[in-house]
């Protein structure tokens, strides 16, 4: 809470910012997995290689950190920036 006060953000803005970044991280991971699956389907392996590969993917999946945790870390390390769009005299953004 102290770090939120230092950043001069209210908690709702911080939650929205972190959740948006977490969704972005999760989308990147899903796209990367789809690309890897597409390339792995093209390769020919014998049954033992496929089993080993599936085992390694399961282990890799378990080691991935939750996207929300990653987004929180990025937020508190000032790796995420929030900009407000300024309105001109006519009230347009």
Domain ranges of the chain: 2-76
Read off the pLDDT of residues 28-65 as tens digits, 9 standing for 90 and up: 999 988 887 776 655 555 555 556 666 666 666 667 78
84: left (phi over 0), alpha (psi -120 to 50) or beta: beta
**Model confidence pTM above 0.75:** no
């Amino acid at each position: 809470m102290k770090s939120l006060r230092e950043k001069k953000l209210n908690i709702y803005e911080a939650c929205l910012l972190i959740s948006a970044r977490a969704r972005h991280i999760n989308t990147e991971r899903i796209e990367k997995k789809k690309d890897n699956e597409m390339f792995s389907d093209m390769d020919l392996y014998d049954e033992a290689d496929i089993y080993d590969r599936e085992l390694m993917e399961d282990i890799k999946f378990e080691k991935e950190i939750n996207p929300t945790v990653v987004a929180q870390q990025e937020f508190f390390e000032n790796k995420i920036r929030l900009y407000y769009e300024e309105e001109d005299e006519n009230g347009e953004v």
